[in-house]
């Protein structure tokens, strides 16, 4: 619980929704509608932003009749995008109270409060019933969780038989010495828990999942990672960006995260697994 409190404190920053909506009004005009597209430059608070969400949704393939679980939902950008574009109902669970507060406010602002439910809670004790969801996903959350087998067991419990889980995880590279901090998920090693891709596979199998696909996407995403790092170093944060969530300190963290990937300290994994029917 001490680690979870540290994680929530790391991410928590008051007034998130108010800052985002004010920035949108300044950029787009006071009367411009608040849509998932307008928010997408800001509220996909993970590596590669909206592009990563679109890619993971293409792997998961949520259907209109399905109930979807977002584990570590942040301020709800991916949940809103998937609900809006796939026609499904999404339940997001996040540890950080200020993220949950912002997510609910932005759900209301986009008219999606009836399609996206946000629950405050831990990924290690998901506050949802057994076998309640057709599919689930999690993006760049496991780096904050030491008990990864516990996370995967909870996801397994929450899914219906035959349910599927899509994951976008950062894993440990072959040499993590000289790891650069801060990174977006942690200021120090105290709340950063990376495992190797082999350990990730083993943890998923131990939880009972069958692995459908398991891909190292580091090389194919590297050009975008480098471009974004160079842009941040040259220009600083964009007018609309994730720094509105976490503050200007995020710029250094994003640059360090890119450098860690470029120097082989992290590996990006995209996986799809299923709960046996």
Q: What are phi and psi of 66, to 5 degrees?
A: -90, 155
Render pLDDT for 140-159 as a digit per residue (tens, 0 to 9).
Answer: 999 999 999 999 999 999 99
Q: Based on the number of CB atoms within 10 Å of its own CB, is 115 exposed (0-12), middle (13-18) or buried (19 or more)?
A: middle
Judged against a pLDDT cut of 90, whether residue 241 lies above it is answered with yes
Domain count, the chain: 1
Q: What percent of the chain has pLDDT over 70?
A: 96
90 pLDDT band (50/70/90 cuts)? very high
191 pLDDT band (50/70/90 cuts)? very high
Mean pLDDT value across the chain: 95
Q: Residues 174-198, buried b or exposed e (16+ Cβ, 10 A)?
A: eebeebeebbbbbeeeebbbbbebe
Q: Which domain holds residue 249?
A: 2-274
Two tokens, residue 161: 């038989």
Q: Tell me which residue of 210, 207, 217, 176 sits closest to 193, measured CA to CA.
A: 176
For residues 130 and 127, what is the distance between their CA atoms, to the nearest angstrom? 10
Residue 99, domain CATH: 3.40.50.150
Give pTM, 2 decimals.
0.94
Please, what is the Cα angle at 34 between 84 and 19, to 5 degrees?
120
Q: What is the pLDDT of residue 3?
A: 76
Q: What is the pLDDT of residue 7?
A: 64
């Amino acid at each position: 619980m001490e680690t979870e409190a540290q994680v929530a404190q790391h991410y928590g920053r008051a007034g998130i929704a108010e800052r985002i909506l004010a920035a949108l009004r300044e950029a787009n005009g006071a009367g411009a509608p608040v849509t998932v597209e307008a928010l997408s430059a800001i509220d996909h608070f993970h590596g590669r932003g909206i592009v990563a969400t679109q890619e993971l949704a293409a792997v998961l393939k949520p259907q209109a009749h399905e109930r979807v679980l977002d584990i570590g939902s942040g301020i709800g950008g991916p949940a809103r995008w998937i609900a809006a574009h796939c026609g499904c109902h999404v339940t997001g669970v996040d540890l950080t109270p200020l993220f949950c507060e912002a997510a609910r406010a932005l759900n209301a602002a986009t008219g999606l409060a009836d399609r996206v439910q946000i629950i405050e809670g831990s990924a290690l004790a998901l506050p949802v019933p057994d076998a309640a969801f057709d599919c689930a996903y999690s993006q760049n959350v496991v780096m904050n969780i030491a008990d990864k087998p516990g996370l995967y067991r909870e996801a397994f419990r929450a899914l219906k038989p035959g349910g599927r889980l899509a994951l976008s995880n950062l894993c440990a590279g072959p040499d993590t010495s000289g790891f650069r901090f801060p990174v977006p998920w942690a200021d120090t090693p105290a709340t950063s828990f990376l495992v190797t891709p082999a350990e990730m596979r083993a943890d998923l199998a131990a939880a009972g999942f069958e692995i459908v696909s398991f891909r190292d996407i580091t090389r194919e995403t590297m050009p975008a990672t480098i471009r974004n790092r160079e842009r941040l170093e040259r220009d600083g944060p964009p007018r609309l960006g994730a720094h509105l969530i976490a503050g200007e300190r995020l710029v250094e963290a994003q640059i360090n995260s890119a450098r860690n990937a470029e120097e082989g300290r992290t590996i990006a994994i995209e996986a799809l697994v299923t709960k046996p029917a």
